[in-house]
Amino acid sequence: MISRLAGCSAATIRASICSAIVAIFTTPKAASPRIGTGGPPAKAAHLSEEAPVRRPRFHGRVERPEPERCAAPGCTEVGEFRAPLSNREPGSVGGWQFLCLDHVREFNARYNFFDGLSPDDIAAAQSPLAGWERAAHDPTMRFNDPLGALRGRYGEAAPKRSANGHVLGDADLKALKTLGLTPAATRAELSRAYKALVRRYHPDSNGGDRSTERQLQDAVQAYTHLKSIPAFARTPKEP
């Protein structure tokens, strides 16, 4: 090729080189012979040896030992497809009906969630708050937790509150424990528990024995702390 290009202009040389490059990348490759056979590469043999996977023609067909007729009035076809009886409840709750292919297609095309509802019920169902009236459940009830590990961690993470709804801190809980009370204790119960501990630990109630002065001081400090926080604040009706 070089000898043929001798004496040609630069433009002619560039055109010849470009034509050669295009021919290299556009010429189809011949099939490579198989080693040892001399023939063209065979198709994957294992694909033809295996039986083809049979899939159901229509998704959702239900096979039953004793199929019944389609539930649509007057239809004589076999009911191979199931559909819920209710427009607003799943079949597992409201029950199923078995339809033929044509009638299950008709059921799907005409499905209307609001069928049979009054205008007020339709408006309520379309409200942004619809569904929020359902009762909430324990977040751990969906877990298999026989030892209560998850329930315990959730309970510990939740803040403790007093009987009037105030959040109790660590110091508040410690003071309640000193007086033998729970977070649900009221101000009246707080007062009764404090008076009972004073009678128990005061030296005058123990014949002058001062060995329980430490317990008495702890009770006084706990009571003083608790009666000063909002959780046990005196209400206007209390004397």
- The pLDDT tens digits of the residues spanning 124-157 come to 777 666 655 555 555 555 556 656 565 555 555 5
Compute the distance between CA of residue 96 and CA of residue 68 in angstroms, rounded to an integer.
13
Instruction: Look at domain 170-232 and name its CATH class.
Output: mainly alpha
Domain boundaries, the chain: 59-120, 170-232
Report, in this order, helix, strand and coil percent for the chain, each rounded to 5.
40, 5, 50
Answer whether residue 102 shows pLDDT above 50.
Answer: yes
* Residue from 79, 73, 71, 69 nearest 100 by CA: 79
User: With pLDDT > 70 as the criterion, what percentage of the chain qualifies?
Assistant: 56
Q: What are phi and psi of 29, to 5 degrees?
A: -85, 140
Q: Which of 174, 167, 168 is nearest to 218 (CA)?
A: 174
CB 70 within 8 A of CB 103: yes
- Amino acid of residue 173: L
> Could you tell me the pTM of the whole model?
0.35
| Residue-wise pLDDT tens digits, 159-178 | 678 777 788 888 889 999 99
Does residue 100 or residue 156 have the better pLDDT? 100
pLDDT > 90? residue 75: yes
Quick check: 202 pLDDT over 70?
yes
Structure-token pair, residue 126? 């379309």
- First CA to last CA across the chain, in angstroms? 118
User: Is the pLDDT reported for residue 198 higher than 60?
Assistant: yes
The first and second tokens of residue 92, run together, are 């597992």
Span 35-40, mean pLDDT? 52
How confident is the model at residue 57, as a pLDDT? 58
The number of C-alpha atoms within 13 Å of 213 and in the hemisphere containing its C-beta is 6
